[in-house]
Structure 1
C-alpha cells in the first residue's frame, strides 16, 4: 500500500481521494500521536490545544469541519483560524504554544485538489516518522474521551490574522519606542498578485503597513478561482501590470502563500534562486548568515552557486522539498535556505517557507540598497537550463542502470565546470526528469536530448 503522506502532507482530489471521512480520521489520529508526544515530553497537564487554518478552496469548508471534529472528539480544544497562509499556521502554532497545527491546502495545485499537513509544537513540519505514526493508527478504535473530556472549537479568524500580520510587519519595521510604526517601504510602488488565495488579505495589508503603495490583483477569492491563471504559477498578469503601472516591482504568491516569486520593473521574472541570492548577500553583510552558508536544493541553478562563491558564500545542497531544506538548516544551524520555486525559509523569523515574509524582506532590500530589483538580480545570472520529463520508464533504475550512469558521466565530463546534469525520479509518476545546465541554451538542449534518449531506451517499461 503506498504511503498516505507525500512530500508535503496528504494531498488528492477533494471528495474523492481526500474525503471528509479521511479528514476526520486524520484529525483523530493526529491528536493520538501528537497528544501522546506532548505527555512523553513532560509538557504541562491540562487541556490540549490544536490550531487549524486553510486556503480559499471551496472544499476547505467541509474538510475543516471534519478535521475539527476529529481533533475535538479526540479531546483537543481546536482554534479555527479560518483562511490564513500556511506559514501563518506555523507561526501561530509556535506563539500560541499549542500542541499542534494543521493547514488545509493544496498550495499551487488547481482548485479541485486539496491537502492536509500538520505542524508539531513549535511550528515545525512533522518528520516522516511522525507521519508514519499517524498513518499507523489511522481509523483504529481507541478509548475516546467523553463528557468534559471532549474538546471545543473556537473561531478566531480576525484575531489570528491580525497577530500574524503584526509579526510580518515587525520583521522589517519593529515598533519605535513610542509605539509608532516605521514605514521602511515608503515610496515603493509594488504590484501584488495574491492568486485569489490565502494571502489575499494578509500580503496587501502587511506591505501597506510597512509603507508601500500596493496595487493588488487576484485578491477576490470565491472558492473556485484559487491559482486560476494567477499567482506564482501564472505570472503573466503580474508582468503586464508592473509594466503598465510603472511600478518598481511585483510579487506573486501561490495559493497558500508559502512561496513568492518576483518581477522587476521591466516585467522580467526574478526566480527563487535570485531572490535567495539577494537575501543571502544582505544577511552576510549584516552578519546574520550563519557560517556564510545558504541551503539550496539540487534544482538550484549553477549560476547561483558560482555567483555566491565569488561573494564568499557557501552552499549546502539537499533533495527537492522545503522540508529537506529545513532539516539541513536545523542540522547545521543555518539561517537561510530555499528552493528555485520561491520557497524561502528565513529562520530568523519563521519555521517554514513564507511568501509574504519573503516579499517584505526583498522589498526592504531594494529600498535599503538604493538599487532596482533588476540590478540586484543581475548579480545572480542563471545559466541556460533545459528540463525534459521522460515518461513510462522504470524511474527507480535511473541511479543504478550502467548505461544511463555512463551517459551521465560522459555528459558531465563534457560540461566540466561550465554546467551540470541531473536525473531525478518523479515522486508521484513513472517518469524521470532530465535536467541540463550549460554555457549556452543550445548546448543545454543538446545534452538534455541525448540523455533523455538514453533514459527512454534503457529504462522503458
Structure 2
C-alpha cells in the first residue's frame, strides 16, 4: 500500500481515493482502534515552555465539551462536512467519543486539544490548496503533529482490517460544539482559543488602539475569529475574504494572493495588512506602503526582538533550506545563528524541540513561536508582528529594513512522477553546471512537494536575470524528464 501521509497529513482531491466516505470511515476506525489499544503512539512529548492551561478572561465563557474526546474541526470547503462525518462515524464505531467543532482554524484545534484534554485533534483542511482539494491531519494530545510512528501504525491498520467493531451501547457519543457564544458570536471552542490569544497579547501589554489593519481571511477558517481578536485588542479592522461559499477558499485572496490585501491597505491608508491562508496556520504581512513581506522578514524582526529581551538562549533561529540567504546574514549581524531544516513545519518543529529553541519557521509564513504555541498560527504571528511594532515605535516597513534579500527565484513544476533527482542524469548534469556558475554567492535547492504532484526549484544568486534563466531552463527540463 502506498503511503497515505505526506509532510502535512493526507491531502488529495476530495471524494477520491482515501478522501471518499468509505475509506475515511476506515481511517476513523484505525485511529479509534489505536486510541483504545495503543494511545501512547499518538503522544509527541511535552510542550516545553508553552503554557498548558488556559488563563484569564477566557474562563468567563462556556467551557466546551472536549476532554477525553476526539476534536474534529474543518475549514470552509464544501467537502468538509462530508469528510468530518465519515471520520466521526469510524471513530464512533470504535467506541471513541467525538466532539464536532465545525469551522475552526488549525491552531485553534491544536490549542484546545492541548489545553482542554482532547484525546487527539483532527483537522479537515487542505490549507492553501484550491477548494476541490481537502485533507486530514492529526494533532497529538500535546498540540503537535502526531509522530511518524503513529502515521505508520494507521497505515498498517488501513492496509489490514481493524480487528473488531463495537455494537450497541459500546459505540461512541457525538457532541456538537458549533453554537455561537452570545458574548462573542463565536463557537465555544473558537471563543476559548480567541480569548486565550487576547489574554496572551494583553499580558505583553499589547494595545492596538489607533491602528487600522486590513485582514484577508482567504474565505477560510479565520473569517470570524481573526476580526474578533484584533477588534477586541482595540484595532480598527478592515476585513476581506470573509464571505466563504465552500468554493472560494484561497481563490484570488489570502496568503497565496497578498496583492488583494496590499491594494486594500493602500486604498484604506491602513497601518498594516495581514493575509492568512485557508486554515489559518500561516500569514503574509503587508506594510503601510502596500509592500509584501514573508516569513523571512518576520523571523528577522522577531529574532532581534527576542534577542533584545534576553529570551533567545541559545541565540539560534530555525529556518529551512528555502530561507533566503539574506535572513542568515541579517541574523548573523546581531549574533544569531540560522540553522536550516527540511521544508515542512514538522521538520522545523522537530529541530526546535530537539535543541530547546523558541523561534523558527518557513519563508511561506508558517512560523513557530514556542513561548506561546505548539503549532504554526497566523493570528499569533500577526500579533507578534504588532508587538514588535509597538515595542519599537516603528512602522513595519522600517523594521523590515533589517533584512536585505538576495535575488531569489521560486518555481513550481507539476510532475507525473517523483524519482530521486540524483537518479536523472540530465538533471544531475544541469544542476552541477548551474551550481558551479553560482559559486559561493548562490544556492540551488530542488525538492518535491510533500502534498502536491509538484517539484520546487529555488535559486539564489547575485543577478536576478541569471537565476531567472536558470529556473526557466530547469523547469523545462523537469517537464521533459518528469512528465
TM-score greater than 0.5 by the shorter chain = yes
Are the equivalent residues in 2 in contact too, given 1:35–1:48 (CA < 8 A)? no
Are the equivalent residues in 1 in contact too, given 2:317–2:339 (CA < 8 A)? yes
2:212 counterpart (189, 200, 210): 189
Matches within 5 A, 1:30-179: 30-38=31-39, 48-138=68-158, 140-157=161-178, 158-174=187-203
- Give the 3 Å change call, closer, same or farther, for CA 41–344 of structure 1 in structure 2: closer
Please, which moves more after superposition, 136-145 or 24-33? 136-145
Give the whole-Å Cα distance in 2 for the aligned partners of 1:426 and 1:364: 33
- Give the 3 Å change call, closer, same or farther, for CA 162–460 of structure 1 in structure 2: closer
- Give the 3 Å change call, closer, same or farther, for CA 40–451 of structure 1 in structure 2: closer
- Give the 3 Å change call, closer, same or farther, for CA 291–400 of structure 1 in structure 2: farther
Kindly provide the CA deviation profile for residues 11-34 of structure 1, in whole angstroms up to 9, marking residues without a partner as x.
111122311222211111112223
Give the whole-Å Cα distance in 2 for the aligned partners of 1:249 and 1:95: 31
Matched, 1:20 2:21: yes
1:348 counterpart (341, 351, 371): 371
Matches within 5 A, 1:438-449: 438-449=461-472
Between 1 and 2, higher relative CO (CA 8 Å, sep ≥ 6) is seen in 2
Are the equivalent residues in 2 in contact too, given 1:385–1:438 (CA < 8 A)? yes
- Give the 3 Å change call, closer, same or farther, for CA 56–425 of structure 1 in structure 2: closer
Give the whole-Å Cα distance in 1 for the aligned partners of 2:475 and 2:220: 36
Offset of residue 318 of structure 1:
1.1
Are the equivalent residues in 2 in contact too, given 1:27–1:67 (CA < 8 A)? yes
- Give the 3 Å change call, closer, same or farther, for CA 455–116 of structure 1 in structure 2: closer
Q: 2:47 is matched with which residue?
A: none
Are the equivalent residues in 2 in contact too, given 1:87–1:352 (CA < 8 A)? yes
Matches within 5 A, 1:354-393: 354-389=377-412
Are the equivalent residues in 1 in contact too, given 2:8–2:450 (CA < 8 A)? no
User: Partner of 2:456: helix, strand, or coil?
Assistant: strand
Are the equivalent residues in 1 in contact too, given 2:68–2:97 (CA < 8 A)? yes
Give the whole-Å Cα distance in 1 for the aligned partners of 2:12 and 2:453: 18
Offset of residue 149 of structure 1:
2.6
Are the equivalent residues in 1 in contact too, given 2:7–2:451 (CA < 8 A)? no
Give the whole-Å Cα distance in 2 for the aligned partners of 1:392 and 1:27: 31
Matched, 1:300 2:323: yes
Are the equivalent residues in 2 in contact too, given 1:8–1:117 (CA < 8 A)? yes
Offset of residue 234 of structure 1:
1.5
User: Partner of 1:144: helix, strand, or coil?
Assistant: coil
Q: 2:58 is matched with which residue?
A: none
Are the equivalent residues in 2 in contact too, given 1:183–1:209 (CA < 8 A)? no
User: Partner of 2:188: helix, strand, or coil?
Assistant: helix
Give the whole-Å Cα distance in 2 for the aligned partners of 1:349 and 1:103: 20
Q: 2:6 is matched with which residue?
A: 6
Are the equivalent residues in 1 in contact too, given 2:320–2:340 (CA < 8 A)? yes
Give the whole-Å Cα distance in 2 for the aligned partners of 1:460 and 1:111: 26
Give the whole-Å Cα distance in 2 for the aligned partners of 1:82 and 1:391: 33
Matches within 5 A, 1:217-256: 217-256=240-279
Give the whole-Å Cα distance in 2 for the aligned partners of 1:301 and 1:63: 37
Are the equivalent residues in 2 in contact too, given 1:390–1:455 (CA < 8 A)? yes
Q: Which runs of 5+ in 1 are unaligned?
A: 176-181
Are the equivalent residues in 2 in contact too, given 1:398–1:432 (CA < 8 A)? no
Are the equivalent residues in 2 in contact too, given 1:34–1:120 (CA < 8 A)? no
Are the equivalent residues in 2 in contact too, given 1:393–1:432 (CA < 8 A)? no
Give the whole-Å Cα distance in 1 for the aligned partners of 2:478 and 2:132: 33
Give the whole-Å Cα distance in 2 for the aligned partners of 1:2 and 1:60: 24
Kindly provide the CA deviation profile for residues 149-183 of structure 1, in whole angstroms up to 9, marking residues without a partner as x.
321111123211110001211222129xxxxxx65
Please, which moves more after superposition, 440-449 or 286-295? 440-449
| TM-score after normalising by structure 2 | 0.87
Offset of residue 55 of structure 1:
0.6
